[in-house]
Amino acid sequence: MTNFTNNDIDRIKKAKNRVFFTGGFGIGRNNPNSLSTTSLSVYRVTGMNQIADIINCGYIRPKVGLIKGGHKNEVFWSLGGEKTFYYDKRPVLETEAKNVTNGQIGALSINDLNAIWIFDESQNKYINKIDIILKIYEFVKNNNYQIDENNLILLKNYLEQNYTEIKNFNIK
């Protein structure tokens, strides 16, 4: 996405990052498919819509409008730890805890992410797809493409192919 609107720029510059320090409850600990976490990182559970948005703009920015609880322009993260697990198969973003503080203004860059964990159904576990997603981001940016609602399923299917290089990427 090379042509940012004022709203796009505001969502990047004015994003408020919120970090929760819950300590976790150990839910999912016994699930062999769970994603374990570390207290050195913060995590964000998300969906394919946000993965596409990150690829399109290069930032982890809030949704447009109000989100649950009446919050606006906020991006929520949780500190990892020995009792924090993710197991519902939704994508999970990971960055070092030092990259984001509670109340920090400004969206994180895709380059600040250590991992984008995508659940791989065939392997029945989370796989870090940050390397291929960074390559897709560069490809989309350099070719002035846009991933939209119509090709989200294509992106999801592409990520499931376990490519390490861009090939057969037919999203325009």
pLDDT tens-digit map of 54-98: 999 999 999 886 667 776 789 999 999 888 888 889 999 999 999
Say if 170 falls within a structural domain: no
The domain of 88 spans 6-159
**pLDDT value of residue 87:** 87
pLDDT tens-digit map of 76-88: 999 998 888 888 8
Say if 166 falls within a structural domain: no
Say if 66 falls within a structural domain: yes
Say if 169 falls within a structural domain: no
Say if 27 falls within a structural domain: yes
**pLDDT value of residue 106:** 96
Nearest Cα residue to 53 out of 135, 149, 117 = 149
With vertex at residue 77, the alpha carbon angle to CA 74 and CA 83, rounded to the nearest 5 degrees, is 155
Residue found by looking up tokens 């519902």 in the block: 88
Q: State mean pLDDT over 105-121.
A: 96
Say if 72 falls within a structural domain: yes
- The overall average pLDDT reported for the chain is 87
- pLDDT band, residue 130 (cuts 50/70/90): very high
CA 65 to chain centre: 19
- pLDDT band, residue 24 (cuts 50/70/90): low
Strands 74-79 and 113-120: unpaired
In the chain, the number of structural domains is: 1
Task: Compare 164 and 171 and report the one with higher pLDDT.
Answer: 164
**pLDDT value of residue 133:** 93
Say if 10 falls within a structural domain: yes
Say if 20 falls within a structural domain: yes
